[in-house]
Amino acid sequence: MKILILGAGKMGSFFVDLLSFEHQTAVYDIDPKRLRFMYNCERLTTLDEIRTFAPELVINAVSLKYTLDVFRQVEPYLPESCILSDIASVKTDLQAYYESCGHRYVSTHPMFGPTFANLGALSNENAIIITEGDCMGRCFFRDLYQRLGLHICEYSFDEHDETVAYSLSIPFVSTFVFAAVMKPQEAPGTTFKRHMQIAKGVLGEDDCLLREILFNPRTGGQVSRIREELKQLLDIIDRKDEGALADYLTRIRGNISHR
């Protein structure tokens, strides 16, 4: 298959490495410097080169802020039969674009960052495939992700953004708060060290990814839940209410007992 990857960043590079030995692969980026270390693929810097390459599948791997703009820029240069795809962490507005563009499409979300995850051992990582879209496109990505050993979930566009807001924004924001209260002091606790390791991993992610998660329209509601829980816990602490604390611990232990 002729596959065009939009964006020569970390995830774009990952997909080039993953696909270029089995497919005729090209990568497009307006910055030639970002293409210097792309191997075993065609390196494109103009829209006319995209027309000449005539891809059968496009994987949009630019950051979410530019995903729709880049789709609109390259779309006039694509064959009518070309399947469009994205790997965006938030799907807001993508469904409406796909349904109006006239191309077949598939949307997925590999839920690992190339900074934090071990790309050589992804068996503990996850990927989401959106249930709407082209059947052949979904089969392509399902086979690809299965070969990587990823655990695959299937959600609609709306279910995806709700799930991402829950599963990513809550631990991300909790980690941000943990890091925000750090001070230059040794802390020998084992739990503290584990939290610190998680914080370094999360904050080692690309700022664009962190922004995408935080600016998910559904993130605000999840953060509000954290704020309410902190308010309740602080009230228990201030009152030194042993009974309320016991009830609180019973409730939250119940929340995680089935995980």
| Strand stretches in 55-150, DSSP E | 57-60, 83-86, 105-110, 126-130
Q: What are the tens digits of pLDDT across the range 100-141?
A: 999 999 999 998 765 545 556 677 889 999 999 999 999 999
Please answer whether residues 94 and 68 qualify as being in contact, where contact means their C-beta atoms are separated by less than 8 angstroms.
Answer: yes
pTM above 0.85, yes or no: no
Token pair, residue 243, equals 């009974």
Q: What are the tens digits of pLDDT across the range 200-226?
A: 988 988 787 788 888 888 899 989 999
Please answer whether residues 67 and 86 qualify as being in contact, where contact means their C-beta atoms are separated by less than 8 angstroms.
Answer: yes
Token pair, residue 68, equals 């729709």
Tokens 């998680």 correspond to 198
**Mean pLDDT value across the chain:** 91
109-118, 192-201, 237-246: which has the minimum mean pLDDT? 109-118
3-state secondary structure (DSSP) of residue 44: strand
Report the pLDDT value the prediction gives residue 164, as an integer from 0 to 100: 86
Q: What are the tens digits of pLDDT across the range 4-46?
A: 999 999 899 999 999 999 999 999 999 999 998 898 999 999 9
B/e letters for 7-26, b = 16+ CB within 10 Å, e = fewer, are bbbbbbbbbbebbbeeeebb
Percent of the chain's residues with pLDDT above 90:
70
Report the pLDDT value the prediction gives residue 167, as an integer from 0 to 100: 86
| pLDDT exceeds 60 at position 230 | yes
Q: How far is CA 258 from CA 162, 181, 253, in A?
A: 20, 31, 9
| pLDDT exceeds 90 at position 54 | yes
Report the pLDDT value the prediction gives residue 186, as an integer from 0 to 100: 79
| Strand stretches in 126-225, DSSP E | 126-130, 151-155
Single out the residue of 186, 190, 217 nearest to residue 92, CA to CA: 217
Report the pLDDT value the prediction gives residue 113, as an integer from 0 to 100: 63
